[in-house]
Chain A
Amino acid sequence: MKIKVKLFGELRRKIPDYRPDKGLEMDIPEGSKIADLLVLLGIPASPGATVIMEGRILPLEEKLSHGSLVNIFHVMFGG
């Protein structure tokens, strides 16, 4: 299934030639979870990353579906 991934902050450096305006188009196996996606991208889930879809912070075991738009952030604290 196809999904779109947007990376923020320093996570963009993980992917060579990452284009912020386009994000990443990815083809991943049906039934993949957020944890699986982070492994594919080489981003450690703990302590580093937070995944947000449609305004909600999602647990690592949440399943992705075709057409999902996934935003991935560092864990941040107050500024």
Chain B
Amino acid sequence: MKFLRVDMSSKNIRSEEVPQSYLGLGGRSLTSTIINTEVPPKCDPLGPENKLIFAPGLLSGTNLVNTSRISVGAKSPLTGTIKESNAGGTIATALGHLGITAIVIDGQAVKGEMFILRIDEKGEASLIPAKEYKGMRTYSLVDKLIKTYGDKTSVMCIGPAGEYLMKSASIQTSDVDDHPCRAAARGGLGAVMGAKGLKALVVDRRGKSPDAIADPEAFKEAAKIFALKVKENPFSGQFLPNLGTAGLVAAVNSMGAFPSYNATKGVLPGWENISGENLTKIMKERGGGPGHMGCAQCIIRCSNVFMDKQGKYVTSSLEYETIWAFGGMTGIKDLDTIARLDFLCDDIGLDTMNTGVAIAVAMDAGYKKFEDGQAAIEMLEEIGRGTEMGKVLGDGPAAVGRRFSHLRIPAVKNQSIAAYDPRAMQGNGVTYATSPMGADHTAGNVIGQYMARKLDPLKPEGQVKASRNAQIAMAAMDSIGLCILAAVALEAPEAGAAFLKALSAKLGTELGADAIGQLGIRTLQAEREFNRKAGFTNKDDRLPEFFYKEALSPHNTTFAVTDADLDTTLAF
């Protein structure tokens, strides 16, 4: 259990024992608590006072399945709020094997200088000048880093967008095939990394100094039961390996909740072309396919590999949200174009959602026509080159709306919504409005409640409670490091008990049934406290006006949860 504190101003690296006040925290609970304690709330997110923190989950690096999740935290240049952006890949497991609880990046390199932070198999860290890697896109960068540091290397890095300090810049991370297709995408944390002068974090995967498990036998037994339950669950065990998250396209369109043509329709005519079913068919015909293992420790295999018509690699982990942002929001109904756009975002280092929605807002404002795939590709290349228009697009939908004086901007706190329209899934609207992260589906998605017939998605009643429960659960999962797609198995009581037992066995303390919920609440409290100190109030926890005024077809509903109800969501 140790922190690595890296000062980019002095280039000093210090290893320290985890301070008492941070013990028992991991992932998001740790990044958010450190930021709330150590970062001046009103600081410039791109200045030296902000801290960029990498923290694997509490169980990352153990043998529990699906725990290779890393939290990246900072004050966000996009939202101005606290931010935790979560990614899979292999690096969380690698850090867990080294017993590294967090890497805290402070200060700022001299403008124009770039460094790589390398951690070797003994956990020794060093800053290496990275002049030769400046301006590189992520695929060629990772390729070069692996050649330099060996094939047992995990990478987290930024592309040109992060170096340009764009507000949609992501931090990309390598998957099991060393493709930088996994992303801590949201909130512009790539720009924070760029501002610090850090091009890449390079971690040796051969570490052999993980934190001890307090009760290894009990852990092993509980982990075995939990893995069985993940396999048994029809969603994580059967659906995801065959369709991936793209399987949601058909369902959300059928519910009339798929924001299309910049959220002016709830169904995309011709959605069948970009459905998970069609994606699977195309991938199987061309090679690649669904059922791909993207992250270390994964037994679900929701990832995929998309090939072009000639059988050449295009992209990996083409996800539902990306298909929506580049398909639904722009009206582009061609998976080849969407896959190309996904690759370009990964390569330039961009959040696919914030970027797809930025392009949709530009199309809605008349800059280019909806459905024009070539125009979308050109817009992404403009971002990659950092042209004047590219810089506007790379700052996300709110920046594009301002540029064209266009008011239909589907974003909260400047961050784009996800692939669930709040007028047809009111609970997800509550999450977009109230999450300390800005609009973010992974902060508390309620769709499972609707599909299990527990809640009517169109009525305001019950939505606040559903969103609150989901937000607490997600904050806890992001802290423990469990993939949220494996977390669906926790609905089975035996799986829930095994998971709690595994966590207890790891920490060496008998946790009560409410411990996981308490971890989530504590995390959300720290995040809201930081946001309040940064100047945010309940009045910021609202959706854009058009969601209250423009009815969405086919249900012709608007967002109907009252402000007073919204304000109770996270008022712990």
**Chain A contact residues, CB within 8 Å of chain B:** 8-10, 12, 20, 47-48, 50, 52, 55-57, 59-60, 71, 73-79
| Residues of A close to B246: CB separation below 8 A | 79
* Bound Cα distance from A10 to B291, whole angstroms: 13
- A12, A71, A77, A79 pick with most chain B CB within 10 angstroms: A79
| Residues of B close to A50: CB separation below 8 A | 251, 451-453
A-B contact pairs, 23 of them (CB 8 A): A8-B250, A9-B250, A9-B277, A10-B242, A10-B243, A50-B453, A56-B255, A57-B450, A73-B251, A73-B254, A74-B239, A75-B235, A75-B451, A75-B452, A76-B451, A77-B235, A77-B445, A79-B244, A79-B245, A79-B247, A79-B248, A79-B321, A79-B485
A77 touches B554 (CB 8 A): no
B447 touches A20 (CB 8 A): no
Q: Does B144 contact A (CB under 8 A)?
A: no
* Bound Cα distance from A57 to B445, whole angstroms: 17
| Residues of A close to B484: CB separation below 8 A | 77-78
Chain B: minimal CB distance from A35 (Å)? 12
Chain A: minimal CB distance from B281 (Å)? 9
Q: Does B436 contact A (CB under 8 A)?
A: no
With A8-B251, A79-B248, A79-B319 given, is the CB distance from A57 to B277 under 8 Å?
no
Complex partner residue of B277 from A20, A76, A78, A79, CB under 8 angstroms: A20
* Bound Cα distance from A76 to B484, whole angstroms: 12
Complex partner residue of A73 from B319, B451, B485, CB under 8 angstroms: B451
For A73, the closest partner residue in chain B by CB is B251
| Residues of B close to A12: CB separation below 8 A | 277
Complex partner residue of A78 from B234, B239, B250, B447, CB under 8 angstroms: B447
For B272, the closest partner residue in chain A by CB is A20
B450 touches A9 (CB 8 A): no
With A74-B235, A78-B484 given, is the CB distance from A55 to B555 under 8 Å?
yes
With A74-B234, A78-B442, A79-B248 given, is the CB distance from A59 to B254 under 8 Å?
no
Complex partner residue of B254 from A20, A52, A60, A77, CB under 8 angstroms: A52
| Residues of B close to A78: CB separation below 8 A | 248, 441-442, 445, 447-448, 484
**Chain B contact residues, CB within 8 Å of chain A:** 234-235, 238-239, 242-248, 250-251, 254-256, 266-267, 276-277, 319-321, 441-442, 445, 447-448, 450-453, 456-457, 484-485, 488, 491, 554-555
Chain A: minimal CB distance from B212 (Å)? 34
* Bound Cα distance from A20 to B275, whole angstroms: 12
* Bound Cα distance from A76 to B234, whole angstroms: 9
A77 touches B488 (CB 8 A): yes
* Bound Cα distance from A64 to B491, whole angstroms: 30
| Residues of B close to A10: CB separation below 8 A | 234, 238-239, 242-243
| Residues of A close to B248: CB separation below 8 A | 76, 78-79
* Bound Cα distance from A55 to B251, whole angstroms: 9
* Bound Cα distance from A48 to B320, whole angstroms: 20
B319 touches A57 (CB 8 A): no
For A52, the closest partner residue in chain B by CB is B254
For B256, the closest partner residue in chain A by CB is A55
| Residues of A close to B238: CB separation below 8 A | 10
* Bound Cα distance from A10 to B276, whole angstroms: 11
Chain B: minimal CB distance from A22 (Å)? 13
A55 touches B255 (CB 8 A): yes
B451 touches A57 (CB 8 A): yes
B452 touches A47 (CB 8 A): yes
| Residues of A close to B277: CB separation below 8 A | 8-9, 12, 20
Complex partner residue of B554 from A8, A48, A55, A71, CB under 8 angstroms: A55
For A50, the closest partner residue in chain B by CB is B451
| Residues of A close to B441: CB separation below 8 A | 78
* Bound Cα distance from A57 to B458, whole angstroms: 10
Chain B: minimal CB distance from A34 (Å)? 10
